[in-house]
Amino acid sequence: MRRRKFIALLGGVAVSWPLAARAQQGERMRRIGIMPPTSETDPETQARLAAFRQGLEQFGWKQGRNIRFEYRWPVGDAELIKKHAAELVALGPDLILVGITPGVQALKRETRTIPIIFANVADPVGSGLVPSLAKPDGNVTGFTAVEYAIVGKWLELLKEITPGTERVALIGNPEVIFTKSFMRSLEAVAPSFGVKPVAAEVRGVVDIERAVDAFAREPRGGLLMVPEFTASMHRELIFRLAARYRLPAVYPFRFFVVDGGLASYGPDQVDQYRRAAGYADRILRGAMPSDLPVQAPTKFDLVINLKTAKGLGLDIPPTVLAVADEVIE
């Protein structure tokens, strides 16, 4: 009798194990398409993606268990952006995360149904990504990078570091829709700081070298960057040119300064990707992108690189260092 009970019990366990395994295996694997802003080898991009994955894990989404990522790396190439957008949509993912405005625009042309979350894009309304921040409508929502008014903060910081600055070049790709809006913002505030604004339109390495070389022919100049992928991808070149001509520069994001730039003021982009994981979780559980308002940054950082300042022959004022969130020695 005992032997029969033991066999029956053993049989019950033997049945329950496969059922449990089948239940776990039966959980539908979700797929997220990802189009990052720069190359696969970019440490900043990897830090953002790691924050997104870590954020998802906190909500119970673990890579290889119930979620899978499909990456496409257009590295700012307009044709690759279109190609990769079509490829991602053809895969039929549950949602797509994208970090560049042209990428969102290309994806919108390919699908009106697959949810799209953008992270760190500027002016999503002006770029035609959403009709309004509060009510994004359609299949697109996400997190903005910076507003045009931040140009005044960059210029203020530049003048505090080098009060003698009289000319300021804004480096940006004219093919990016919001570059001209940043330039208009600079032109509006420049007179109050006593500086002449200069548009440095660049599309790649040759343009950057030519623009900075030409700008540096006259003295008392400084540099600002439009927060778009061209400056990000070629930041090391910009650092070298700034060092060569001893041009002070203020950048839009922390990673510029960590990599060798002088100073930055802007939102924490890694935090933006971490927050994007919350929207991804809600969409994977049934929420509609149109019900999730576009969110602005909540965390801004002022970062100074003293080593770069020394190389430029600059002494950062104590008043600037006192309010800096991070000082890199």
**Domain shared by 193 and 315, yes or no:** yes
**Domain shared by 167 and 235, yes or no:** yes
**Domain shared by 227 and 274, yes or no:** no
**Domain shared by 242 and 287, yes or no:** no
**Domain shared by 203 and 324, yes or no:** yes
CA distance 124 to 327: 32
Nearest alpha-carbon partner for 248 in 164, 310, 323, 158: 158
CATH code, domain carrying 124? 3.40.50.2300
Report the domain count for the chain.
Answer: 2
φ, ψ (nearest 5 deg) of residue 121: -105, 150
Nearest alpha-carbon partner for 273 in 303, 290, 297: 297
Q: What is the pLDDT of residue 305?
A: 98
**Domain shared by 185 and 305, yes or no:** yes
104 domain residue, yes or no: yes
Q: What is the pLDDT of residue 164?
A: 96
Q: Between the CA of residue 121 and those of 11, 103, 110, 326, what are the distances in Å?
A: 58, 10, 19, 24
Q: What is the pLDDT of residue 19?
A: 35
φ, ψ (nearest 5 deg) of residue 37: -80, -25
Q: Between the CA of residue 208 and those of 2, 8, 13, 165, 187, what are the distances in Å?
A: 84, 77, 69, 21, 21
Q: What is the pLDDT of residue 298?
A: 87
**Domain shared by 77 and 212, yes or no:** no
Q: Which residues contact 321 (CB under 8 A, 6 or more apart)?
A: 304, 327
Q: Which residues contact 175 (CB under 8 A, 6 or more apart)?
A: 78, 203
Q: Are 303 and 263 in contact (CB under 8 A)?
A: yes
Per-residue pLDDT of the chain (329 residues; tens, 9 = 90+): 444 443 344 444 433 333 333 334 446 899 999 999 888 998 889 999 999 999 999 999 999 999 999 999 988 788 999 999 999 999 999 999 999 888 999 999 999 999 999 998 888 998 899 999 999 999 999 999 888 999 999 999 999 999 999 999 999 999 888 899 999 999 999 999 999 999 999 999 999 999 999 999 999 999 999 998 888 889 999 999 999 999 999 999 999 999 999 999 999 989 999 999 999 999 999 999 999 999 999 889 999 999 999 999 999 999 999 999 999 99
Write down the pTM of the prediction. Answer: 0.80
Domain that holds residue 317: 150-267+301-328
**Domain shared by 191 and 239, yes or no:** yes
**Domain shared by 130 and 221, yes or no:** no
**Domain shared by 159 and 98, yes or no:** no
In the chain, the amino acid numbered 196 is: K
Q: What is the pLDDT of residue 21?
A: 37
Q: At how many degrees (to 10) do helices 205-215 and 235-245 cross?
A: 20
- Is residue 20 exposed (0-12), middle (13-18) or buried (19+ Cβ within 10 Å)? exposed
CA angle 156, 161, 166 (to 5 degrees): 70
Q: What is the pLDDT of residue 272?
A: 93
Question: SS3 of 157, please?
Answer: helix
Nearest alpha-carbon partner for 221 in 213, 229, 231, 230: 213
